Structure 1
Amino acid sequence: MPSSQHPTATPVRYRQPGVVLTDHHFAVPLDHGRPDGEQIELYAREVVAGDRADDRLPWLLYLEGGPGFGARRFVGRQAWLGRALKEYRVLLLDQRGTGRSTPANRQTLPLRGGPREQADYLAQFRADAIVKDCELIRRRLTGGAPWTVLGQSFGGFCVTHYLSTAPEGLRTALLTGGLPSLDGHADDVYRAAYPRMQRKAAAHYARYPQDVERARRIAAHLAEHGPVTLGGGYRLTVEAFQSLGILLGSGDGSHRLHHLLENAFVRTPHGHELADAFREEAHAVLSYAAHPLYALVHEAIYAQDERPTNWSAQRVRAEFPQFDAGRAVAGEEPLLFTGETVHPWHFDVDPSLAPLRETAELLAARTDWPRLYDPARLARNEVPTAAAIYHDDLYVDTAHSLTTARTIRGLRTWVTDEYEHDGVRAGGGRVLDRLFTLARDEA
């Protein structure tokens, strides 16, 4: 089933303020074990400083977090990009299934067949396949020269796999909030995650104590009146409302959550109801329509060997009864927010996921996942490597990251509580500059 839309497309070059951009399309095997089999398309945007557009520069590949998010669409030299463009030609890759690469969503996946065929297809969308994609692209763009790779969050998981399997392709490896556990099961990941979520919720309420009653009131309203329909048909249940805690992992997330909660209700002829503005903003945070792969393969990124994930976040949540919203509704304690977890009920409340429920069940039951990391090879690492580890990161456990950092030979870490998980974006060029300094042994 050929799916490449631009098999012979000439790269398109255009400008934004201060930069020159080039669109690239690459055909790669769906299954790298069958290089002559079906091909899918990858899209990547090349960015270079406007005054260096024709210079011979080394390449820096950026791998976005997720899974399931396309590379960030910068305008000009935003965030860390300005620092990178001082030295590099940057490639912003839409990983397979995301952005302008061959899409994987409720509209396209039925082309594969039924849920079994869809699950088999999506099993090819983890870090191992992504790194093989990167290696094919690298050889086509650089003529075989190694490149520097910057991995944010799940992108850092991909970089760790890169170091495990193809370090010869790397000149330097940089990771921000993305050092994974090398051998931990998804259950281990979530047993560490729920206490972090509780701490983030407590920190939010310490900053905004008025939100304790606001969150309780919203949860009580949903418990009494049932789910509220948001944009696109998304059904806001109590559990879905709790998952707005995903905001608490970013630098401005607590403030955004506060602003969302403070205008939740409006008085109507029928009594108080959740305001349209609240519904619209909540839907923008909660909907998976723009990134369904995040829900579909989120737990699969931790899967190795013959252990299924089996809806790990849902099972492990039962070990933390303090997350039961009923306690908050009864006035016993503040409502705890969640986030960074995917549950079976997501496929009931979100119309963008509902047609894929059986596919998700099959992925959760899958037992033939290959190993992603090679600790022995990482212990022999020779690639200059540096990682920013964010203290008490909501999304990636700090203790797991530090354990992995000790395994990777020569890796230098910067552990900081200055930033949350989005530090590489929120910090402008400062985080990237610090990682360059560490990797180059200049500090």
Structure 2
Amino acid sequence: MAVHRQPGTVITDHTFSVPLDHAAPDGERIEIYAREVVAAGREHDTLPWLLYLQGGPGGRSPRPLGRDGWLTRALDDYRVLLLDQRGTGRSTPATRQTLPTRGDAAAQARYLSCFRADSIVRDCELVRSQLLGPDERWSVLGQSFGGFCAVTYLSFAPQGLKEVFITGGLPGLRSSAADVYRAAYPRVARKNAAHYARYPGDVATARAVTRLLRDEVVTLPHGGRLTPEAFQALGLMLGSATGSHTLHYLLEDAFVASPHGPVLSDSFLTEAQHHLSFAGNPLYAVLHEAIYGQRSVSPHGTGWAADAVRADFPEFDAATALAGDGPVLFTGETIHPWMFETDPALAPLRETADLLARREQWPDLYDAAQLAVNEVPVAAAIYHDDMYVDTAHSLATAGAVRGLRTWVTDEYEHDGLRVSGGRVLDRLVRLARGEL
């Protein structure tokens, strides 16, 4: 068990063996990694534990650089556990490189069906029992998809929880994937309008980039294709605090002069690849819609819902935009089949992803009856007009969880926990404790 020191912190590595399928505890096992972080000088103190569940799906836990960000506040009170959820980071990985060891696409899809919130929560319970003892409870902080996992935790294992903090991650308990995206496209359109109002010159630049991509084959440095649809997917960043500005600076460097006329610059293509590639988190794409699958809501599966629903919002069609004089709209947190053709990190997983999209009878992830009688203190930050999680869905869920207290704010975007320097977490802690 390795121990490291960083400025203001002591970090301890932990690994745990857990069943791949918790319904078959004597079957195959995988490894889960977690990083314990405690304030320097307090490593021998008896402190309450705070488990952090990362957003995603498919996102590894943060790699801290000393006492920074929200950890600044958390370490005042807690011993923090940063969990690499199954398939991510240093936990047994699930990528284009490792999944072929499972067999064909059907075998890979069966394997990945065990990588949703219900399995993550059962992993957490095994980790809690080993680290704290079976009778000790811990606190949980869930960001985005981590908040979804926290609501699953409250549904099926509340006996392990002392208190729960959720930031930008209250899911719709009865929302299908289609419901999620039908609500999302108008929010993304509003984020586009705000961006173009802030940077009106980007309208012409985005149209020029889209026109070039329509007329020419453009290859990114890693060999993937930059198509008009892939270019539009850069809008994923519009839901963060600085995303609009980052997108503007990217567009600012889009073109350079060449002997053959204006071309997309190497710096633009490199930066675009950085934002578009799923090499670092392929499960985000492969499992994204599966996180909404519940047999009692959508028994026939998710079926590439974002792609299907997009047809109801023709304003996002790039060809239509170029045929007129309006802006090309960027898209948001949507996953499409074409991504498994243009991104080399996803291409080998195309059939696997399709099988997951067509999978039926996903187990339910939330227990409304249990949530209605919840006794665990819960505080949730709901970001007004959050681009990634629908505010109306979140408020409906807040009303369905007994005792849950909300903080609805437009001071922050979806990444408020990360950028607030501990202020978001501090408010939630005080809310859960009844200090506000």
Structure 2 length-normalised TM: 0.98
Q: Quick one: which of 140, 144, 147 aligns to 1:156? A: 147
The alpha-carbon deviation at position 330 of structure 1 amounts to 2.6
- Residue 349, structure 1, aligned to residue 342, structure 2: yes
Q: 1:70 aligns with which of 60, 74, 90?
A: 60
Q: Deviations over 1:343-364 (max 9, x none)?
A: 0000000001001111011001
Deviations 1:272-302 (A, max 9, x none): 1100000000000000000000000000000
5+ long unaligned stretches in structure 1: 1-10
Q: Percent identity?
A: 66
Structure 2 counterpart of 1:173, one-letter code? V
Q: Deviations over 1:299-356 (max 9, x none)?
A: 0000010221110000000010010111322343111100200000000000010011
CA distance in 1, matches of 2:370, 2:15: 32
Displacement after TM superposition at 1:40 (Å): 0.2
C-alpha RMSD over aligned residues? 0.7
Counterpart of 1:92 (choices 59, 82, 85) is 82
Letter in 2 for 1:220: R
- Counterpart of 2:72 (choices 82, 88, 94) is 82
CA shift digits 1:7-66 (9 cap, x unpaired): xxxx11110000000000111000001111100001110000001011010100000000
SS, match of residue 169 in structure 2 = coil
Q: Which of 148, 173, 185 is 1:194 aligned to?
A: 185
- 1:50 counterpart residue number: 40
Question: Within 5 A, what are the aligned runs for 1:16-165?
Answer: 16-144=6-134, 145-165=136-156
SS of structure 2 residue aligned to 1:233: coil
In the comparison of the two structures, how many residue pairs are matched? 432
CA distance in 2: counterparts of 1:209 and 1:32, whole angstroms: 52
- The letter of the residue matching 2:211 is A
Residues 80-139 of structure 1: CA deviation (Å, up to 9, x unaligned): 001000111000000000001000010000000000000000000000000000000000
Alignment of 1:310 with 2:310, yes or no, is no
Equivalent residue runs for 1:327-406 within 5 Å: 327-406=320-399
Q: Give the structure 1 partner of residue 413 of structure 2.
A: 420
Q: Which amino acid aligns with 2:376?
A: V
**Shift of residue 186 of structure 1?**
0.3
| Runs of 4+ more than 2 Å apart | none
SS of residue matched to 2:222: helix
The corresponding residue for 2:198 is: 207
**C-alpha distance in 2 between matches for 1:221 and 1:383:** 55
State the partner residue of 1:225: 216
Q: Distance in 2 between matches of 1:304 and 1:322?
A: 30
Instruction: Give distance in 1, aligned partners of 2:206 and 2:385.
Output: 23
- Take 1:308 and 1:54, find their aligned partners in 2: how far apart are those partners? 49
Contact 2:378 2:432 in 1 (8 A): yes
Match of 2:319 among 321, 326, 331: 326
Conserved? CA contact 1:327–1:333, under 8 Å = no
Q: Where does residue 288 of structure 2 map in the other structure? A: 298
CA drift of 1:261 comes to: 0.3
Q: Structure 1 CA distance, aligned partners of 2:258 and 2:364?
A: 56
> Contact (CA 8 Å) 1:46, 1:89: kept in 2 or not?
yes
Query: Mind listing any 5+ residue stretches in structure 2 that lack a counterpart?
Result: none
Say whether the 8 Å CA contact 2:37–2:81 is kept in structure 1.
Answer: yes
Q: Does structure 1 conserve the Cα–Cα contact (< 8 Å) formed by 2:142 and 2:149? A: yes
* Structure 2 letter corresponding to 1:25: T
Q: Provide the C-alpha distance between the structure 2 equivalents of 1:304 and 1:115, rounded to a whole number of angstroms.
A: 22
Instruction: Determine the C-alpha separation between the residues in 1 that align with 2:311 and 2:343.
Output: 22
Q: 2:277 aligns with which of 263, 287, 294?
A: 287
CA–CA distance in structure 2, aligned partners of residues 404 and 154 of structure 1: 15
Structure 1 residue 368, shift from structure 2 partner: 2.3
Cα distance, 1:231 vs structure 2? 2.1
Range with greater deviation from structure 2 (302-311 or 122-131): 302-311
Query: 1:361-381 CA distances to partner (integer Å, 9 max, x unpaired)?
Result: 100110020000011110100
Match of 1:169 among 160, 164, 171: 160
Q: Is the 8 A contact 1:217 1:329 kept in 2?
A: no
Question: With structure 1 as the length reference, what TM-score do the two structures score?
Answer: 0.97
